[in-house]
Amino acid sequence: MKRLAIVVAFVAALGIVLVASGAFYVVDETQQVVLTQFGKPVGEPIATPGLKIKLPFLQVANSFDRRFLEWDGDPNQLPTRDKRFIYVDSYARWRIDDPLVFFQRLRDERGAQSRLDDILDGETRNTIAKHDLIEVVRSSNRDFAAVEQVGEEVPGDATGERVEIGRAALEAEVLANASRRTADLGIEILDFRFKRLDYVEEVRQKVYERMISERERIAAQYRSEGEGEAARIRGEKERELREISSDAYRQAQEIKGRADAEAADVYAAAYSRDPEFYRFLKTMDTLRTVIDGKTVVLLGTDGEMMRFLESSK
């Protein structure tokens, strides 16, 4: 009997533990709970953290995250209004706004992610299809950095296209349209962004060709400006060189003229002091210049040179 009483007491204690463990549950600060009984919600959602009580074995505590959740879309090839195809990779942030409606409509986060795939991907496709490529890839008509460097003023795109709405407005449009479709699902989409935009291969090659052409045009302009500046510098150099040469020639001629004048004054002074000796020196210089060992000279008897020779005997 004593052994039977111990077994009964153990079974009773085990039953109490099982009942107690099924009757209590903990709500974490990051969670919100919906109680269900036989699969149907019971009461209001529980969002306050702490130890809670439920009917054991009959009621189930379904926990849902209260934090911001991430939706990461798959890259899709989408057409724009001007018939250009681009790869669009996007992401969004959302949260469970009404856990009771969320449980009734979507059951869990997996169902929510699947529904968000349909809604956000569809709205992204619809929005991009209604706008040109320039509206998707740019947010303003800010001048390109390369155009600013060469001093040109080309508003908007280099091809003349102008941004009327911009990428930020397209993201806001997708967010607004998707939020209307998720209002009755118990979730709230907090933010939506284009994570990456990339051209398909055909468009990418055209973009590269345009980029190469633009860079070649800028390089040609730089070369033209450089050649013009080089020509200007060479012209300045030649002009300064001519000015220096002209000034040096003028100074040399002035110095030479003054020297010739001084020499003439010296010659004149010497000539005036002894004209006969001066004529003799000039005659001897002439003889030294025109006569060598093979020269035959015929002199007249009345010549100046003959007279000097005769007087030297």
Same domain, yes or no: 75 and 91: yes
For 194-217, how does the pLDDT look when each residue is reduced to its tens digit (9 = 90+)?
999 888 777 778 778 888 998 999
Same domain, yes or no: 55 and 89: no
**Given CA atoms 6, 8, 9, 11 in this order, what sign does their dihedral have?**
positive
Same domain, yes or no: 131 and 165: yes
Question: Helix 167-181 to helix 109-129 angle, to the nearest 10 degrees?
Answer: 130
Same domain, yes or no: 80 and 102: yes
Query: In the prediction, which pLDDT does 162 show?
Result: 80
Beta strands in the chain (DSSP E): 24-27, 31-37, 40-46, 50-53, 59-65, 69-72, 76-79, 85-96, 187-199
Question: Does some domain include residue 103?
Answer: yes
Beta bridge partners of 73: none
Which domain-ending residue is among 164, 199, 234? 199
For 111-147, how does the pLDDT look when each residue is reduced to its tens digit (9 = 90+)?
999 999 999 999 999 999 999 988 988 887 776 554 4
Question: Does some domain include residue 279?
Answer: yes
Which domain-ending residue is among 141, 168, 199? 199
Mean pLDDT of all residues in 72-91: 90
Question: Does some domain include residue 267?
Answer: yes
Mean pLDDT of all residues in 44-51: 89
Query: In the prediction, which pLDDT does 160 show?
Result: 56
Same domain, yes or no: 56 and 123: no
Least confident of 85-89, 124-128, 147-151: 147-151
Question: CA-CA distance, 175 to 193, in Å (whole number)?
Answer: 9
For 229-285, how does the pLDDT look when each residue is reduced to its tens digit (9 = 90+)?
999 999 999 999 999 999 999 999 999 999 988 888 887 777 777 777 777 777 777
Residue 149 has pLDDT above 70, yes or no: no
Question: CA-CA distance, 47 to 35, in Å (whole number)?
Answer: 12
> In this structure, which amino acid lies at residue 188?
E
Same domain, yes or no: 94 and 7: no
Question: CA-CA distance, 64 to 70, in Å (whole number)?
Answer: 14
Question: Does some domain include residue 205?
Answer: no
Same domain, yes or no: 83 and 157: yes
Least confident of 155-169, 173-187, 226-240: 155-169
State the total domains in the chain: 4
Phi, psi of 38 (to 5 degrees): 60, 40
Same domain, yes or no: 45 and 114: no
Which domain-ending residue is among 168, 199, 230? 199
Confidence tier at 187 by pLDDT (50, 70, 90) = very high
Same domain, yes or no: 89 and 121: yes
Question: CA-CA distance, 155 to 163, in Å (whole number)?
Answer: 10
Same domain, yes or no: 161 and 248: no
**Between 11 and 110, the higher pLDDT residue:** 110
185: which DSSP letter?
A: G
Structural tokens at position 213: 């052409």
Domain that holds residue 233: 210-273
CATH number, domain at 119?
Answer: 3.30.479.30
Same domain, yes or no: 97 and 158: yes
Question: Does some domain include residue 165?
Answer: yes
Residue 20 has pLDDT above 70, yes or no: no
Same domain, yes or no: 60 and 16: yes
Question: Does some domain include residue 14?
Answer: yes
The pTM for the full model equals: 0.60
Residue 226 has pLDDT above 70, yes or no: yes
Residue 41, exposed/middle/buried by CB under 10 A (0-12, 13-18, 19+)? middle
Query: In the prediction, which pLDDT does 311 show?
Result: 64
Query: In the prediction, which pLDDT does 57 show?
Result: 79
